[in-house]
Amino acid sequence: MAKLKTKWVCQTCGYETFSYLGRCPDCGNFSTFCEEVVQSAVELKSNSSPSLILNSALRAKRIDEVSSDEKIRIKTDMEEFDRVLGGGFVLGSLVLLAGDPGIGKSTLILQTCRNITKDGKTALYVCAEESEQQVKLRAKRLKVEGKNLYVTSQNCLEELLVQLDEIKPDFLVVDSIQAVFSSQISSSSGSVSQIRECTNILMRIAKQKNITTVIIGHVTKEGNIAGPKVLEHMVDTVVNFEGDRYKSYRVLRSIKNRFGTTMEVGVFNMEDDGLSEVKNPSELFLNPFEENNCGCSTIATLEGTRVLLLEIQSLTGTTPYPNPRRVARGIEYNRLLQILAVLEKRVGINLSKQDVYVNVIGGIDIDEPAVDLGVALAVISCARDIPLKRKTVIAGEIGLSGEIRAVDNIEKRLKEAQKLGFECAIIPKTQKDLNLSKFDLKIVQVAKLTDAIKAAFEK
Ligand code: TYD
Ligand code: MG
């Protein structure tokens, strides 16, 4: 097959050249050139011939003629994964599964293949990074059997398309997109243009042949999905697989989903025989010690539709520096600064000569304001060296005048706390739609931060 003609295009200003340049002569930015395929005039013309457009299903319809059936979903048989996807893989969609090397992406997707092929569907697993034997070894560990799962280590996309026609799978996995290449482009596999072109082709195939496709992508040191940002725009769904490599649990989070919410998370535990679902993650993250330590509080936060009870830890100490340090892990940095400012102004706790560290246990990022009160109480507990009341769960947003503001879904949060054996809850007074008689908890409703402090530290 003849090589395609390519050009180099600056991704910032669109300047074009026929060879790679380190710095764009037009806009002056460095390392912004990407290789792109030059389409000849003949090709462009044939692509847009009127007969082709008329025959296609993409012809304009009146909106009331468009069928509104929920697209058929393929269930992964793993509740945690299905929920993150919005109820399973949508037929013919392209999903990008991204994560650090070694986090367990291949394991998760092989388990998914195992479950999907159980009820007669066919899957093709392209292990472009590993040999078929290596995949077989992993498959043995994961107890993958079945005649409907095909494996190939072919990493040339054009050859793969031939195999696709033969096998006609319902489900296709490309592990990883950085390791496959199209022979139409001269740059090496993993380069921006290869990744983009291969994804483009896979997207077209997925839609045309209704093959649900998952592409696996590595994450760079900076935490971006390797390859251009366009990769995220091209696919239907982007799912991130995260976690601490030295701990066994992993968090699956959707960061883009054309067919569902991006609020959901799924939690898994890496074990000897693969990933197991963690149905109740709060138990995993909570402190097993009965006694509360100084500087610790437990909050009830919402991750998508699910309540997570998480422990917040805080440490304060006299600073040796002119500017005290503020470190926030798991909560937004500016949120911490705001909470500290309210503590100083409305409660009179002076932390201007103290370093403050706040950490959410479990490596979970919380971005809802309901975390405020828990953080404030953890900081006060450490600064004053007194532990919070035992088995107390906290939820509430702090306003700038020190008032505690209502949070969403309070009954759901309280229910979860009760289920896990908590005895007391400190929540906002302004909370509506709350039926206290439903709960077997001591519920303290507070209007001001000062009231919350009283409630949290009284014996
Ligand atoms: P892998 O799925 O190969 O990661 P990725 O594809 O994201 O690079 O899994 C990597 C780690 O998972 C590896 O260090 C070993 C561990 N692992 C288990 O602990 N149990 C298992 O059953 C399997 C298959 C892997
Ligand atoms: Mg892998």
| CA gap 200, 210 in Å, rounded | 15
Residue 62 lies in a domain: no
Q: How far is the CA of 417 from the centre of ligand 2 (A)?
A: 37
Task: Identify whether 125 is part of a domain.
Answer: yes
59 within domain boundaries: no
Q: Are residues 33 and 167 in the same domain?
A: no
Domain identity same for 452 and 379: yes
- How close is the Cα of 275 to the center of ligand 1, in Å? 9
Distance CA 315, CA 357 (A): 5
The CA 259 to ligand 2 mean position distance, Å, reads: 26
Same domain (yes/no): 253, 289: no
pTM, 2 dp? 0.75
Q: Which atom of ligand 1 is nearest to the CA of 241?
A: 7
Q: Is 218 or 318 the better-scoring residue by pLDDT?
A: 318
> Which tokens in the block code for residue 36?
């792109």
Which long-range contacts does 133-140 make (Cβ < 8 Å, 24+ apart)? 135/106, 135/110, 138/106, 138/107, 138/110, 139/110, 139/114
Q: Which ligand is in closest contact with the Cα of 144?
A: 1
Q: From 279, 297, 321, give the residue that closes a domain.
A: 279
Distance, CA 100 to ligand 2 centroid (Å)? Answer: 10
Residue nearest atom 14 in ligand 1 by C-alpha distance: 102
pLDDT top residue among 372 and 248: 372
Last-in-domain residue among 279, 312, 328:
279
Range in 95-109, 168-182, 247-261 the model is least confident about: 247-261
Q: Residue 426: inside a domain, yes or no? A: yes
Per-residue pLDDT reduced to its tens digit, 118-157: 988 999 999 998 999 999 999 999 998 878 899 999 989 9
On whether both 11 and 124 belong to a single domain, the answer is: no
Q: Find the mean pLDDT for residues 34-49.
A: 57
Residues with CB under 6 Å of ligand 1 are 99, 101-107, 138, 141-142, 270, 272-274
- Same domain flag for 300 and 272: no
Which residues 6+ apart lie within 8 Å of 116 measured at CB? Answer: 74, 75, 76, 77, 123, 170, 171
Q: Residues 211, 79: one domain?
A: yes
State which ligand 1 atom lies nearest to the alpha carbon of 101.
8
318 and 267 housed in the same domain: no
Distance (Å, whole) CA 173 – CA 96: 10
Kindly state whether residues 299 and 254 are assigned to the same domain. Answer: no
What is the model's pLDDT at position 222?
57
* Nearest ligand (C-alpha, residue 129): 2
| Residue 445 backbone phi and psi in degrees, to 5 | -100, 125
Task: Please state the domain count of the chain.
Answer: 3
67 domain-assigned: no
pLDDT over 70 (residue 223) = no
**Ligand positioned closest to the Cα atom of 102:** 1
Task: Let me know whether 360 and 240 are in one domain.
Answer: no
The two beta strands, 354-360 and 306-318, are antiparallel
Q: Which CATH number fits the domain that encloses residue 88?
A: 3.40.50.300
Ligand nearest to the CA of 130: 2
User: From ligand 2's centre to the CA of 385, what distance in Å?
Assistant: 46
Of 151, 323, 233, the residue nearest 160 (C-alpha): 151
Buried b (16+ CB within 10 A) or exposed e, 97-122: bbbbeebbbbbbbbbbbbbbbeeebb
Query: Ligand 1, atom 21: nearest CA belongs to which residue?
Result: 274
Q: Which amino acid is at 396?
A: G
Q: Judge if the upstream peptide bond of residue 176 is cis by omega within 30 degrees of 0.
A: yes
Instruction: From the CA of 248, give the closest atom in ligand 1.
Output: 19
The domain containing residue 123 runs over which residues? 73-279
Q: How confident is the model at residue 58 (pLDDT cuts 50, 70, 90)?
A: low
Bridge partners of residue 451, in order along the sequence: none
Residue corresponding to tokens 């009283």: 454
Residue 185 is predicted with a pLDDT of 79
Q: Name the more confident of 14 and 359.
A: 359
Task: Report the residue among 97, 107, 130 best suited for mutation to probe ligand 1: largest number of ligand atoms under 8 A from its CB.
Answer: 107
Length in residues, the chain: 459
Assigned domain for 46 exists: no
Ligand 1 centre distance from Cα of residue 247 (Å): 13
Whose C-alpha lies nearest to ligand 1, atom 1?
A: 104
Same domain, 22 and 170: no
If asked whether residues 313 and 271 sit together in one domain, one would say no
Residue type, 418: Q
pLDDT at 287: 65
SS3 assignment for the chain: CCCCCEEEEECCCCCEECCCCCECCCCCCECCEEEEECCCHHHHHHHCCHHHHHHCCCCCCCHHHCCCCCCCEECCCCHHHHHHHCCCEECCCEEEEEECCCCCHHHHHHHHHHHHHHCCCCEEEEECCCCHHHHHHHHHHCCCCCCCEEEECCCEHHHHHHHHHHHCCCEEEEECHHHCECCCCCCCCCCHHHHHHHHHHHHHHHHHHCCEEEEEEEECCCCCECCCCHHHHHCCEEEEEECCCCCCEEEEEEEEECCCCCCCEEEEEEECCEEEECCCHHHHHCCCCCCCCCCEEEEEEEECCEEEEEEEEEEEEECCCCCCCEEEECCCHHHHHHHHHHHHHHHCCCCCCEEEEEEECCCCCCCCHHHHHHHHHHHHHHHHCCCCCCCEEECCEECCCCEEECCCCHHHHHHHHHHCCCCEEEEECCCCCCCHHHCCCEEEEECEHHHHHHHHHCC
CA distance 82 to 304: 13
Question: Which amino acid, 398?
Answer: I
- Tell me if 61 is assigned to some domain: no
- Asked if 323 and 369 sit in the same domain, the reply is yes
Determine which residue's CA is closest to atom 23 belonging to ligand 1: 274
Residues 6+ positions from 345 with CB-CB distance below 8 Å: 402
Assign 51 a pLDDT band (cuts: 50, 70, 90). very low
CB under 8 Å to 43, separation ≥6 — which residues?
none
- Residues β-bridged to residue 323: none
The two structure tokens encoding residue 250: 């992993």
In the reported structure, the alpha carbon of residue 104 is separated from the centroid of ligand 2 by a whole-number distance in angstroms of: 7
Tell me how far apart the alpha carbons of residues 421 and 423 are, in angstroms, rounded to a whole number. 6
Question: For ligand 1, what atom is nearest to the CA of residue 272?
Answer: 20
Q: For all residues of the chain together, what is the average pLDDT?
A: 86
pLDDT average, residue stretch 406-422: 89
In a domain, 28, yes or no: yes
pLDDT at residue 50 tops 50? no
